[in-house]
């Protein structure tokens, strides 16, 4: 298991650094700059190193990031709204079974007296927003273990679908990923494929304006998403090698909300606020998955 994890971590280090063209996945959005990201300073509070990566649990990574946030003393700087959004987000990450937090950074406004900016109004309630964090997370989404399915994909040049389930506001979106299995290799019983997602998103927190401050109601991510697969062979390759093959699919970009989708989010935020529901979290890694053809 440790050897497999080392292979995956090495793959992640290469995938995250790819500079491939991006594709906007939101229906009415195109590739754009990261909103008002230039109005923020990025302070990294957690980053893994190769020496510690194998031994750290997700909970340990989250707790170290939380400690880094508390050390910034944001509450005494008038930035408690950022602290709340980040801690809430990390609590959500801690519940994601199988996720790996590689890095976490807090976004602090360059104007330290800044407050959240006006986002919109729904039913007379004003909502404000702020960018709060950047992070890199990977997660294994699923596996293909069925021999006939693997054989069918390999022999017909079939494809895997990357599905982006952007509920509750956006419907199901998908894109075709070319399944470039190893050439000249016959599928063997016992082969399997792991499908992974690496995300490097920015979090936008949305707050309801109250008399004494801002109440967090919604955390929503946007940014880069990089899918990849790892094909594990149960036989020796024609080249004599016997190891996993990394299959990379490029980089995709999920845009920040605009237009009618922003209006829908405001209605969602209002419903959450008026009903005193828990904070809603929309994450790229939890809303994307892989699907594949069957015979």
Residue 149 pLDDT grade (very low, low, confident, very high; cuts 50, 70, 90): confident
pLDDT surpasses 90 at 44: yes
How do residues 250-291 score in pLDDT, each as one tens digit? Answer: 888 888 876 667 888 899 999 999 988 888 888 887 778 887
pLDDT, residue 28, reads 35
Q: Which domain holds residue 62?
A: 2-108+116-291
How do residues 199-254 score in pLDDT, each as one tens digit? Answer: 999 999 999 998 888 999 999 998 888 888 888 877 665 665 556 677 777 888 88
Ramachandran angles phi, psi of 272, nearest 5° = -65, -45
Q: Who wins on pLDDT, 153 or 215? A: 215
Signed CA dihedral, 73, 79, 82, 83: sign only: positive
How do residues 77-120 score in pLDDT, each as one tens digit? Answer: 999 999 999 999 999 999 888 889 999 999 999 886 678 999 99
Three-state SS for the chain is: CHHHHHHHHHHHHHHHCCCCCCCECCCCCCCCCCCCHHHEEEEEEEECCHHHHCCCCHHHHHHHHHHHHHHCCCHHHCCHHHHHHHHHHHHHHHCCCCEEEEEEEEEEECCCCCCCEEEEEECCEEEEEEEEEEEEEEEEEEEECCHHHHHHHHHHCCEEEEEEECCCCCCEEEEEEECCCCCCCCCCCCCEEEEEEEEEEEEEEEEEEECCEEEEEEEEEEEEEEEEEEEECCCCCCCCCCCCEEEECCCEEECCCCHHHHHHHHHHHHHHHHCCCCCEEECCCCCEEEECCCC
> What total of structural domains would you count in the chain?
1
Q: For the whole model, what pTM was predicted?
A: 0.81
* C-alpha span between 181 and 231 (Å, rounded): 8
* C-alpha span between 14 and 129 (Å, rounded): 33
Q: Average model confidence (pLDDT) for the chain? A: 78
* C-alpha span between 149 and 81 (Å, rounded): 49
């Amino acid at each position: 298991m440790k050897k497999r994890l080392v292979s995956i971590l090495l793959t992640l280090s290469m995938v995250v650094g790819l500079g491939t063209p991006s594709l906007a996945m939101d229906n009415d959005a195109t590739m754009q700059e990261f909103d008002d990201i230039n109005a923020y300073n990025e302070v990294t509070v957690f980053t893994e190193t190769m020496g510690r990566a194998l031994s750290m649990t997700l909970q340990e990574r989250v707790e170290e990031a939380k400690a880094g946030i508390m050390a910034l003393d944001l509450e005494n700087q008038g930035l408690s709204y950022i602290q709340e959004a980040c801690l809430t987000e990390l609590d959500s990450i801690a519940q994601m079974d199988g996720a790996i937090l590689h890095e976490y950074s807090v976004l602090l406004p360059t104007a330290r007296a800044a407050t959240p900016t006006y986002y919109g109004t729904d039913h007379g309630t004003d909502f404000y927003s702020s960018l709060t964090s950047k992070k890199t997370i990977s997660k294994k989404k699923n596996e293909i273990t069925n021999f006939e399915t693997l054989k069918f994909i390999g022999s017909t040049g079939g494809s895997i679908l990357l599905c982006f389930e952007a509920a509750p506001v956006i419907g199901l979106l998908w894109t075709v990923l070319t399944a470039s299995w190893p050439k000249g290799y016959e599928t063997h019983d016992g082969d399997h494929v792991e499908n992974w997602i690496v995300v490097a998103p920015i979090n936008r927190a949305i707050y309801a304006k109250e008399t004494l401050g801002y109440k967090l109601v919604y955390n929503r991510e946007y940014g880069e998403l990089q899918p990849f697969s790892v094909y594990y062979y149960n036989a020796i390759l024609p080249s004599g090698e016997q190891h996993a093959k990394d299959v990379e699919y490029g980089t995709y970009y999920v845009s920040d909300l605009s237009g009618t989708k922003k209006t829908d989010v405001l209605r969602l935020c209002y419903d959450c606020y008026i009903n005193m529901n828990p904070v809603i979290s929309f994450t790229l890694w939890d809303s994307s998955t892989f699907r594949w053809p069957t015979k």
